[in-house]
């Protein structure tokens, strides 16, 4: 197991590029199952989750080859496989994205139910509701979803939930509907940019989807989809994470490939905090050197502030003078990072699906544990601005969704080491060290 040792207090400067979006790459990779010809995908981020899904697709009879830094090539070589195995799916919830494409293309699908998750309850009832509406026979046995349909038929489907809509649920149902007979209308579809990117990808292969980016999608089923060549959208969540790093360290940095048109709410809230963000052609300048103000916000479905940025914002508010009230309306329990930030001295109080943060001047380095993908990023960010060193364990969570985050931050001037897990004595705060010395002298 590896861990990160982060030395706090180093300002950042320079320029790094934002990678392709994980949450677009995964459903689009799954949707290559639908194509009758070879598909090339570009701007795919080099992530553990991408590698895991590639293994799932290979186990489903696809040939997947290439170099993610350039392009990945996908082609079905054996369409007799219909089971996405537990051993692979348990590593990544997003494997559920193969369910819709597999069912639509091969008439049968057997996909392991996704495992548990540290960010809260994550059912797939809406995925199954949508596929049943298209005519699929669905049952759940021994931890697997079994789905079958000789021919899916277009239907009117409502995908809303108490929490808004479902991103991967919309991806699954939309992917299945493109090969259904007739017209499908999806009401309360997710509007996230990653869902739009999947729809644009499917349309580039010959699908007929209109309404992308709105809650109402209309899909005219087609006989088949061709192969194609498609470039994945940039990652708005990684871009927000790097912007928050600039604010936390009081730095001026430059970012390439920022999808600013997908980040209106994030740019708005970061502007309220005090960041100055400006566009110079393809380069986004992020100036975090000014005073910061505490802000209240609610994480919501797109176009609201993404739940995937909530943890990183909590790190920022932890060292911003004033009180910040943070609510997550998508995953009300997504606060595992709060207890780890508290270990670093953050003043955070939970009140149901809300956290109240009292900003303090500086966090202190500590041993902390990552619990999920975005919580890991939040701890890295907090450590950048903390005193002395912070050791972050279980960083396999981080690698699932960030392409070499510590390399990008080090390229900007951070001091982060990735080492094998080992006991590490953290330097004590001077006052604590002096007290310890006095106690040992008295004892002698
Ligand atoms: C996607 O997860 C993302 N993952 C998540 O990103 C992201 O946090 C989430 O959307 C919300 O934006 C991928 O795209 C791979 P949902 P997903 O279905 O699709 C409820 C990250 O860090 N719900 O939109 O699983 C659910 O409980 C990850 O990159 C149902 O009730 O999320 C939740 O409260 C974490 N029934 C809400 O909807 C369902 O059938 C939103 O969930 C499905 C969901």
Render pLDDT for 382-426 as a digit per residue (tens, 0 to 9).
999 999 999 999 999 999 889 889 999 999 999 999 999 888 778
Whole-model pTM: value is 0.95
290 alpha carbon – ligand 1 mean position (Å): 35
* C-alpha to C-alpha distance for 236 and 313, rounded to whole angstroms: 14
22-231, what's its fold? UDP-n-acetylglucosamine1-carboxyvinyl-transferase; Chain (3.65.10)
**CB–CB of 39/228 below 8 Å?**
yes
Atom number of ligand 1 nearest to Cα 194: 14
CA-nearest residue for atom 8, ligand 1, is 308
Contacts of 213 by beta carbon, 8 Å cutoff, 6+ apart: 191, 193, 196
Q: Where in the chain is the domain with CATH 3.65.10.10?
A: 2-18+234-420, 22-231
Q: What is the pLDDT of residues 86-129, one digit of tens each?
A: 788 877 888 899 999 999 999 999 999 886 667 887 889 999 99
Contacts of 440 by beta carbon, 8 Å cutoff, 6+ apart: none
CA-nearest residue for atom 4, ligand 1, is 23
**CB–CB of 96/111 below 8 Å?**
yes
Atom number of ligand 1 nearest to Cα 168: 19
Atom number of ligand 1 nearest to Cα 122: 27
| Rounded percentage of the chain residues whose pLDDT exceeds 90 | 83
352 alpha carbon – ligand 1 mean position (Å): 19
Select from 198, 235, 330, 371 the residue to mutate for testing ligand 1; criterion: most ligand atoms less than 8 Å from CB.
Answer: 330
Q: What is the DSSP string of 8-39?
A: ------SEEE--B-HHHHHHHHHHGGGBSS-E
2-18+234-420, what's its fold? UDP-n-acetylglucosamine1-carboxyvinyl-transferase; Chain (3.65.10)
DSSP, res 364: B
Q: What is the pLDDT of residues 53-89, one digit of tens each?
A: 999 999 999 999 998 777 999 999 999 998 888 788 8
Atom number of ligand 1 nearest to Cα 124: 40
* C-alpha to C-alpha distance for 99 and 83, rounded to whole angstroms: 9
User: CB under 6 Å to ligand 1: residues?
Assistant: 22-23, 26, 94, 119, 121-127, 161, 163, 166-169, 307-308, 330-331, 373-374, 401
Nearest C-alpha neighbor of 139 from the set 151, 154, 149: 149
423 alpha carbon – ligand 1 mean position (Å): 36
**CB–CB of 183/199 below 8 Å?**
no
The residues assigned a catalytic role are 117
Tell me what the mean pLDDT of segment 228-252 comes to: 98
């Amino acid at each position: 197991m590896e861990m990160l040792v982060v030395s706090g207090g180093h300002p950042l400067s320079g320029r790094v590029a934002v990678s392709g979006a994980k949450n677009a790459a995964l459903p689009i990779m799954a949707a290559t199952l639908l194509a009758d010809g070879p598909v090339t995908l570009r701007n795919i981020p080099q992530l553990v989750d991408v590698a895991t899904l590639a293994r799932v697709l290979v186990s489903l009879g696809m040939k997947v080859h290439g170099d993610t830094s350039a392009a990945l090539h996908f082609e079905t070589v054996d369409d007799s496989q219909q089971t996405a195995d537990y051993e692979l799916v348990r590593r990544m919830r997003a494997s559920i994205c193969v369910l819709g494409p597999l069912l639509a293309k091969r008439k049968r699908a057997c996909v392991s139910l996704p495992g548990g998750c540290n960010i809260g309850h994550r059912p797939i009832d809406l995925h199954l509701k949508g596929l049943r509406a298209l005519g699929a026979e669905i049952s759940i046995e021994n931890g697997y979803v079994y789905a079958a349909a000789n021919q899916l038929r277009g239907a009117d489907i409502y995908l809303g939930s108490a929490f808004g809509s479902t991103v991967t649920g919309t991806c699954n149902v939309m992917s299945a509907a493109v090969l259904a007979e007739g017209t499908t209308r999806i009401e309360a579809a997710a509007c996230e940019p990653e869902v739009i990117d999947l729809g644009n990808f499917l349309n580039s292969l010959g699908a007929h989807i209109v309404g992308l980016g709105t809650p109402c999608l209309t899909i005219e089923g087609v006989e088949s989809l061709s192969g194609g060549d498609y470039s994945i959208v940039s990652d708005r969540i990684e871009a927000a994470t790097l912007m928050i790093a600039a604010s936390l360290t009081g730095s001026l940095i430059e970012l390439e490939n920022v999808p600013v048109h997908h980040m209106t709410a994030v740019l708005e809230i970061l502007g309220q905090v005090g960041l100055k963000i400006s566009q110079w052609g393809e380069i986004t300048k992020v100036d975090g050197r000014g005073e910061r103000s505490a802000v209240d916000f609610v994480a919501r479905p797109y176009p609201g502030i993404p739940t995937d940025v909530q943890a990183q914002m909590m790190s920022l508010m932890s060292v911003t003078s004033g009180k910040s009230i943070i609510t997550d309306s998508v995953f009300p329990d997504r606060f595992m990072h709060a207890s780890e930030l508290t270990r670093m001295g953050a003043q955070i109080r939970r009140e149901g699906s809300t956290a109240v943060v009292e900003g303090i001047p500086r966090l202190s380095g500590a041993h902390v544990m990552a619990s999920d993908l975005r919580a890991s990023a939040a701890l890295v960010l907090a450590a950048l601005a903390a005193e002395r060193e912070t050791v972050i364990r279980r960083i396999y969570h981080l690698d699932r969704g960030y392409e070499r985050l510590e390399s990008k931050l080090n390229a900007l001037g951070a001091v982060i080491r990735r080492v094998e897990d080992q006991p590490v004595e953290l330097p004590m705060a001077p006052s604590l060290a002096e007290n310890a010395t006095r106690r040992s002298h008295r004892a002698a």
